[in-house]
Amino acid sequence: MEKHSKLAGRTVMITGASGGLGAHFAELCAGAGAAVVLGARRLDRLENLAAAIRDRGGRALAVPLDVAEEASVTAAFDAAEAQFGPVDSVIANAGIERSGRATEISVEDFDAVYAVNVRGAFLVAREAARRLRAAGRTEDGRIVMISSITAEICVPGLMPYSVSKAAVSHMTRMLAREWARRGPNVNALAPGYMPSDLNAEWFASEAGRQQLDLFPRRRLADFTMLDEPLLFLLSNASAQVTGSVIKLDDGQTL
């Protein structure tokens, strides 16, 4: 874990931190000097990650978190405050995908995607903003939503996920405008296709390999592409940046 101090003094809550991008972000923020609060439903994975961060001299707390449930979000913030004080930064990373053509996707799958990807991002951002106001620390607040390039392009079979990410992008702008005078900065990263549990099976298939061949660089993007933009948005250097949705896709949509 590379150590530097860009986020020294900050407490960052990362949702969906049990694997993939979320776990990567946790390691990144801890290495940058932040206390990290790791939230997800798979507590065993979180505990292992938190222990590994602490073994390297970082500060980490694992909390059970179902972002779609308001009571769970409140409890996670309560636990974070008890350990580290107010949470001043949030990475709203939790997300799920349900594939299928629009004529075939079930209402249950559609609702499940929206519950996590949209309602979950809103509940976490809102709780952070409320508590920052109560603590008189809104100018310090940083919320980073994780959107996707699928918010801008049409991918057959990914309708619920893509539309949910479009909602996340616009939620970013709406919250940034509403909280511009008395609230945290709200921005979003919109990554391109990266290796993840959600797409591993697809890109191992013949159709997935054909999609890769259509990308200008014929590859999936790497997690580390997001590191510096994320650290900037969470740091004091981004005091005058709010309402931005930053596309980072390794040229996949060119």
Tokens of 171: 């939620």
Residue 193 annotated to the active site? no
Within 10 Å of residue 100's Cβ, how many Cβ atoms?
A: 14
Q: Do 68 and 94 touch, CB atoms closer than 8 A?
A: no
Q: Do 13 and 91 touch, CB atoms closer than 8 A?
A: yes
Question: What gap in Å lies between CA 194 and CA 250, rounded to an integer?
Answer: 10
Q: Do 189 and 147 touch, CB atoms closer than 8 A?
A: yes
Q: Which of 161, 179, 193, 215 is catalytic?
A: 161
Read off φ and ψ for residue 230, nearest 5 degrees: -65, -45
Question: What gap in Å lies between CA 101 and CA 110, rounded to an integer?
Answer: 11
Question: What gap in Å lies between CA 202 and CA 199, rounded to an integer?
Answer: 5
Catalytic positions: 161
